[in-house]
A and B are shown apart, each in its own frame.
Chain A
Amino acid sequence: QVRLKESGPRLVQPSQTLSVTCTVSGFSVTSYHVSWVRQPPGKGLEWVGAIWKGGSTDYNSALKSRLSISRDTSKNQVFLKMNSLQTDDTGTYYCAKHETDYGYNDYFDYWGQGVMVTVSS
């Protein structure tokens, strides 16, 4: 059974660093890519970045300078770190498992429950 679960702080102060962990089960992070997607309150979905099954990463260009995505393959975990947080970084952060279709397009077949992060002093 595929499961993803995010964990991390609910409150982060402005200018500080957000660290969120995605613990997966039912698949290996060395066999499937994993992305982070965020959603501000009442707004739409924004792709944050991905770690490919080979270990390389891709980031949303608007966030790239503040982002780091890494993993621990022994624990089947993926990590998101975002620094210099501002109030507009407030939102729910999801990790999602990739699937790839016959046209080599990626999409998200399983999502975690998300962690709501508030950036506030």
Chain B
Amino acid sequence: EIVLTQSPTTTAASPGEKVTITCLASSSVSNMYWYQQKSGASPKLLIYSTSSLASGVPDRFSGSGSGTSYSLTINTMEAEDAATYYCQQWSSNPDTFGAGTKLELK
């Protein structure tokens, strides 16, 4: 099973600040996927195929990476971006998620 390790576990950012969340895979994966989950809501797809924005996602979000190292970047933090972010892989069975990164507004 591929283990995904996210860092940081928790972080806080001020409006306008740049935020980067990292996801390290225990073995190489071909693509990474990112989800945003706000309190009390279902997860929402943010990034697919490592760097493609899902429909309706603001372009301040971006994804990058390859092999075992991937990242999600918010170029300029906005209040509505406060949420928990999860990475996910299914290059190898079973499907696995990272433990999540909680992003708070400073």
Binding site for B on A (CB under 8 A): 35, 37, 44-47, 50, 58, 60-61, 94, 99, 101-103, 105-114
Contact = CB atoms under 8 A, between A and B. Distances in A.
Contacts of A103: 30-31, 49, 91
Interface stretch (B11-19, B59-67, B71-79, B92-100): B92-100
Interface residues of B, number: 24
Interface of B: 30-31, 33, 35, 42-45, 48-49, 54, 86, 88-91, 93-100
- The interface residues of chain B, by DSSP majority, are classed as loop
Contact of A107 (B33, B42, B94, B100): B33
A105 B91 contact: yes
B48 A47 contact: no
Contact of A94 (B43, B88, B99): B43
